[in-house]
Amino acid sequence: MISNEMTGYFLAIRAIGRHHRVEIEQARFEKIQSAWANLCNVLDLEESWDAVIQNYLDLEKGMLDAAARHMILSIFDYHNFQDIRLQFAVKLANLLSSCRAYLDHTPRNLNSLEPRRGETGAFRLATNREYDQRFGYRFMEALRNYSQHGGLPLHGASYGTRRREGEDEGMLQFSVATHVLVDKLRGNKSFKQSVLENVTEEKLPAEPLVRAYIEGVSCVHMELRNLLHERVARWMKVIRDAIATFSEGSPDGNILGLCAMQLGEKNQWIQSVPLVEDMLQRLEILQKRNRSLEWLTRSFVSNAPRPAIR
């Protein structure tokens, strides 16, 4: 417990023993408290988006692994095709569930920000815009509901082999693709039927639809991140200024366990707010790592040999 009985608001190490502390005004404590709570909500948003990215990356890596196995191994029986279909159905179901969680949780996090600045309304407008503009977004939203209540989200998988044209003419390209059977969705109450109104194909390739969906959700998240950018910077400054204020007078520079706290009689901790630089850095790392995917539908990954460097 902190020695030397005092009541009020302080920056101090929350630990037993004698430690350096700095008295602060109540208004500053409340500002620190609000900034920290807001940053925790923003971190929740970024971690929820990171879960989407990790599940999408897992799906893409699975496709590349299956294509490599197709090139190297001779496994073309019925059970192998069904295993591939099931493997990607599970990965896609995980991805769609994480997208749904992100879309459902985000308004709650935004509504917890103080003061509110209309971000929740902007988020809903952005999701509605992407839904209206992208068939892949609408289809995957409906497929997510189907996968939860009607069946697995993929109905088939196939291997492909073709000769490349142009500079690499003569080289064989191996690939794997998955698809959804439209007839299995028509009339199924678990799938929103209006999404299929203009669909004439018997089956739809899944990968382009998935990419369009993730691209759309990415556009929503980047718009939200831009809306919050200035406020997040101010909240981070509040926390870092508090850490700097404490560090300037600290004899050993230790900030492990640093908090902004309210002390009552007999040095009783009434409330405290952790001041953790690592958390701020984690938020910055997630934002830097998970950049915009607005180019996703126009990109693909290939392990085709590149020209030798001379």
Domain of residue 198: give its range: 8-298
Lookup result for tokens 């050993």: 252
- Establish if 267 belongs to a structural domain: yes
Reference 262, options 35, 28, 37; nearest CA is 28
- Look up the pTM and report it: 0.91
The answer to whether residue 36 is domain-embedded is yes
Nearest alpha carbon to residue 12 among 212, 285, 295, 243: 243
Tell me what pLDDT residue 308 has. Answer: 57
Q: What is the pLDDT along the chain (310 residues), one digit of tens a residue?
A: 444 556 899 999 876 667 788 999 999 999 999 999 999 999 999 999 999 999 999 999 999 999 999 899 877 788 888 888 999 999 999 999 999 999 999 999 999 999 999 999 999 999 999 999 999 999 999 999 999 999 999 999 988 888 877 766 678 888 999 999 999 999 899 999 999 999 999 999 999 999 999 999 999 999 999 999 999 999 999 999 999 999 887 777 778 889 999 988 877 888 999 999 999 999 999 999 999 999 999 998 888 776 655 5
Are 183 and 202 in contact by the 8 Å Cβ rule? The answer is yes
Is position 309 within any domain? no
Nearest to 124 by CA among 103, 142, 109: 103
Q: Is 88 part of a structural domain of the chain?
A: yes
Q: Decide if 20 is inside a domain.
A: yes
1 falls within a domain: no
Q: What pLDDT shows up at residue 3? A: 47
In a domain, 285, yes or no: yes
Euclidean distance between CA atoms 242 and 276, whole angstroms? 10
> Domain for residue 3, yes or no?
no
What pLDDT does 63 receive? 93
> Strand, coil or helix: what is 225?
helix
Number of domains in the chain: 1
